[in-house]
Chains A and B, each alone.
Chain A
Amino acid sequence: MSIAKIRKIAVFVDEIHIEQGKTIDPPTRRACAVAVINNPFAGRFVEDLSDLMQVGEELGGLLGRRAVAALGIRPADAESYGKAALVGENGELEHAAAILHPKLGAPLRKAVEKGAALVPSSKKRGGMGTVLDVPLGHKDAAYVRSHFDGMEVRISDAPRANEILVAVAVTDSGRPLPRVGGLTSDEAIGEDGLR
């Protein structure tokens, strides 16, 4: 029995074959799984947000698995991840925080195996069709500079006023032509989540 009242799930996959005239082989690939859910607290102030924390736990696993499946990779081959929420006009920013921060991470990390690094996030409020930029960072070592990225998603008919759009992005690669130095994926130890 699902806790989240899900109206829609959408999964997007973005592959870059050529960047600035250079062939990217294999292409860099990013997937984002998005759920459109009912906001049980829309239109009123509710002190205890634990219901939305449960929703976050459920969606972290569901959307993480959907994104990995869409890439057609083994969970261990996921390289970076990110999360974001977009709250419809009758909700508050804190609703996004309740979904994203307390419980979403653990099941997402299970879906991508490991995930020592913080899951980068963003949140905002907006109407239907608002663009949400989901930040991306290396899943095991936040300082890996080649994997800082972002993926744009939008759903034309969501969120309605009483809805929340929840997005989880997973990649199997960094940016297509990384050349700004810093810690590389190969050098990362991946124990403290940073390096």
Chain B
Amino acid sequence: MPEVKVRKTVTGVEDVFHEGGPVAAKPYRRGFILKVIANPFAGEYVEDIQPFMEDLKPLGMQMAGDLIAAMGVEPSGIEGYGKGAIIGEAGEIEHGALWHAPGGYSMREHVPNSTAIVPSTKKVGGPGTRLDVPVTHVAASYVRSHFDAIEVAVEGAPRADEMVVVLVMTTGARVHNRAGGLPASDIKGEDGLR
């Protein structure tokens, strides 16, 4: 079982007070946590990569807990989430796919009533590559006010034999949301969609 080797951790939390319109009574908070880790499969084709998903589970759980703490809210205050991965050039996109289960389920373990699928994105890229990580409502994917994306990048990573794994969370709707659709107040939260 390859051990997860972490080279760097970066967290970011942003409070949005307004975007040209009325100042929000409660700022819209958006946060990310990312880890730069060694890619145990870099440089060669390995058929059986799934055991690494198990190794990533504790890392995912730790990241989700740390991000909620950094955001300074109770787990129930998390209303949107997403995940992503950037794989260095000696790896393949499939290695990023290993983050789907450990990344997603770690957040769903922490956040109550998180019945919605965790949206995701991934790509292969060099150091400093930017990734736009999608965000949707934790209990109902169709809630239009909570669709968002958080751009992340880390200076100097991923190196060729590394991967960057990312979790993102938000505390509510976009600051001036007014594009209609299903409001969060109308969701049933049973099927993860509405």
Contacts and interface: CB of A to CB of B under 8 A. Distances in A.
B14 A10 contact: yes
Interface string A1-32: 00000111111111111110000000100000
A19 B7 contact: yes
A96 to B, nearest CB: 21
What interface size band does chain A fall in? 20 to 34
Q: Name the interface size band of chain B.
A: 20 to 34
B9 A154 contact: no
A82 B124 CA distance: 33
Nearest to A9: B15
B8 interface: yes
Contacts of A19: 7
Contacts of A12: 10-12
B5 A27 contact: no
B17 A7 contact: yes
A108 B12 CA distance: 21
A39 B104 CA distance: 40
Interface in B10-59: 10-19
Nearest to A69: B72
Contact of A15 (B10, B12, B17, B153): B10
B74 interface: no
Nearest to A17: B6
A14 B8 contact: yes
Nearest to B12: A12
A8 B130 CA distance: 20
A15 B19 CA distance: 30
Interface in B130-155: 130, 151, 153, 155
A17 B162 CA distance: 14
Contact of A18 (B7, B19, B151, B153): B7
Contacts of A15: 8-10
A152 interface: yes
Contact of A27 (B9, B15, B16, B153): B9
B11 A17 contact: no
Given A6-B17, A7-B16, A152-B155, 5 more contacts: A9-B14, A10-B15, A13-B10, A15-B10, A155-B14
